[in-house]
């Protein structure tokens, strides 16, 4: 048997390694294609956490927004909150969906940690969340001024994630 033949497994493995290496680098796997991308934001008519007035899908349009799904029971939401405050400070419009949560708790939370949101839709039953295909908080949607969903991110927003989402958000302006 030729010694060189014994190197074949090693070579195949090296090729596979390259594929994996590139696979890791392609993109953040948490931004999976959502069937909702390119579709209009689902219809809703919900109360606002801060003052109780009712808003509908029409109120979302007019200006691009980050729609952030969060809840007081979610530790990761707490972790991303200070970054949301920073984004709001840069003048980015963030709309909150308070998902399967208690309005009183949500108000306390916003008082304690600051309120980066233009307003928060209260979704105690998770109906809007269901239509958005939310399977855990936090999740963030990029919605353009026509009310069309442009991108979705699962998990917390942080400077690194924002670097990739920023371009898309900038393009919507």
Show the binding pattern over residues 38-67: x = contacts another protein (CB under 8 A), - = does not: ------------------------------
Helix (H, G, I), strand (E, B) or coil at 134: coil
Give the C-alpha distances (Å, rounded to integers) separating 113 from 68, 82, 85. 16, 8, 9
Site for another protein in 63-92 (CB under 8 A): 73-76, 78
Site for another protein in 87-116 (CB under 8 A): 99-100
Q: Is 17 in the site for another protein (CB under 8 A)?
A: yes
Q: Is 9 in the site for another protein (CB under 8 A)?
A: yes
Interface stretch with another protein, choices 4-12, 34-42, 48-56, 164-172 (CB under 8 A): 4-12
Of 163, 157, 154, nearest in space to 129 by CA: 154
Between 42 and 61, name the residue whose CB sits nearer to another protein. Answer: 42
What is the CA 41 to chain-centroid distance, rounded?
14
How many whole angstroms separate alpha carbon 91 and alpha carbon 172? 15
């Amino acid at each position: 048997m030729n010694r060189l033949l014994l190197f074949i497994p090693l070579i195949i493995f090296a090729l596979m390694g390259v594929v994996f290496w590139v696979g890791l680098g392609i993109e953040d796997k948490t931004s999976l294609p959502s069937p909702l991308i390119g579709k209009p934001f689902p219809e809703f008519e919900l109360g606002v956490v801060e003052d109780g007035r009712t808003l509908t899908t029409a109120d979302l349009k007019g200006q691009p927004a980050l729609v952030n799904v969060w809840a007081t029971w979610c530790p990761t939401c707490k972790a991303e909150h200070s970054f949301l405050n920073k984004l709001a400070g840069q003048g980015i419009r963030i709309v909150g969906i308070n998902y399967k949560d208690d309005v009183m708790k949500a108000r306390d939370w916003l008082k304690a940690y600051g309120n980066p949101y233009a307003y928060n839709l209260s979704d105690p039953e998770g109906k809007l969340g269901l239509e958005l295909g939310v399977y855990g908080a936090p999740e963030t949607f990029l919605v353009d001024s026509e009310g069309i969903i442009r991108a979705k991110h699962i998990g917390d927003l942080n400077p690194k994630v924002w670097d990739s989402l920023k371009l898309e958000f900038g393009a919507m302006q």
